[in-house]
Amino acid sequence: MNEAPYQVLLYYFYTTIENPEAYRDEHRALCERLELKGRIIVGNEGINGTVSGTVENCAEYMKALETDPLTAGIEFKIDPEEGHVFPKLSIKARTEIVTLGLGEEDFSPNEVTGNYLEPSEWREAMLDPNAVLLDVRNAYEAELGKFKNAIVPPVEAFRDTPQWVRENRHLFEGKKILTYCTGGIRCEKFSGFMVKEGFGDVNQLHGGIVKYGKDPATKGEDFEGQLYVFDQRIAVPVNSKNPSVIAHCIHCDEPCERYVNCANKDCNAQHFCCESCEEKSERYCCGECKEHMTARLEREAAAQAAQ
């Protein structure tokens, strides 16, 4: 079997970047030379990115970051692919490389963060009767997949999670707190936030769900569903030991991990829909959206006929 010609690289690194704008421009030149595509955020606190490219070009890119004193020690999570998973390259300079929005209370994970647990340690920690798992991703990501028995805050943005935790302290006080996210970057920051909030036993899954799924010892055990990713793949398998499906078609409620976008262009909501229901629903997420789009098309047709 031939190896896939492309790779997807997921990475982050907390480090002080004095001039994010200048670093962004230099980094863009590197990525363009290597014909990489993806999304990269650069800030005073470091770099966060996901890119795709040929195996050869990805190898050169990784070497460039690994040998740069600014990012020495960076770790990459690698997935094989048949082609690019992004339509273009986007590199932006922002205040935060992951938006927690703490303002004056902001801090560096290099100074305060939770205890790192490797995949095997995480699997063992989940069995602790005093453990509580906290998913620090957005709620819609967890609809596709999450760890068994995890608490999923009902938030649509990472910056809303601190307030939710403050309002629900009773769920975590006196517990062994296990935080997790996609690749680890959000946990680096959020586990540190929980330490600063006064919680005692705060831990994080080192390398996130991605590393847990790739680890030969854990093989993604007890992760339910699939991993939501922010590229053209959308869903990535994690559990090769005891896989399950937790998502359901919004129309018939049958198990389903198939995403479609609402046919109402003003809605465009991403939702789970099986092939059978896509045909019946005409890909609308609800009756209201179908009525809205039908009325819009009728108005547009009438306006065109009047010309």
Residue 181 annotated as catalytic: yes
Q: For residue 42, is it within any domain?
A: yes
Amino acid, res. 80: P
User: Strand 259-261 and strand 115-117: pairing?
Assistant: unpaired
Q: Percentage of the chain surpassing pLDDT 70?
A: 99
> What's the distance, CA 44 to chain centroid?
21
Catalytic, out of 31, 181, 256, 289? 181
Q: What gap in Å lies between CA 307 and CA 302, rounded to an integer?
A: 9
Domain interval for residue 284: 248-307
Same domain, yes or no: 53 and 147? no
pLDDT of residue 307: 76
Q: Which of 236, 267, 285 is the last residue of a domain?
A: 236
Q: What gap in Å lies between CA 185 and CA 38, rounded to an integer?
A: 17
Number of domains in the chain: 3
> pLDDT tens for residues 177-214?
999 999 999 999 999 999 999 999 999 999 999 999 99
Q: For residue 103, is it within any domain?
A: no
pLDDT band at 1 (very low <50, low <70, confident <90, very high): very low
pLDDT band at 290 (very low <50, low <70, confident <90, very high): very high
> pLDDT tens for residues 223-245?
999 999 999 999 999 999 999 99
Please, what is the average pLDDT of the chain? Answer: 96
Q: For residue 100, is it within any domain?
A: no
Average pLDDT of 9-17? Answer: 97
Which of 75, 56, 53, 59 lies closest to 7, judged by CA? Answer: 53
Q: Does residue 2 have a pLDDT over 80?
A: no
Same domain, yes or no: 88 and 118? no
Tokens of 36: 């990489």
Looking up residue 11, the CATH number of its domain turns out to be: 3.30.70.100
> pLDDT tens for residues 110-154?
999 999 999 999 999 999 999 999 999 999 999 999 999 999 999
Could you tell me if 130 and 175 are in contact, meaning their C-beta atoms sit under 8 angstroms apart?
Answer: yes
In degrees and rounded to multiples of 5, residue 266 shows phi and psi of -80, -15
Sign of the CA dihedral running 9, 12, 13, 18 = positive
Q: Which residue has the tokens 């789970």?
A: 272
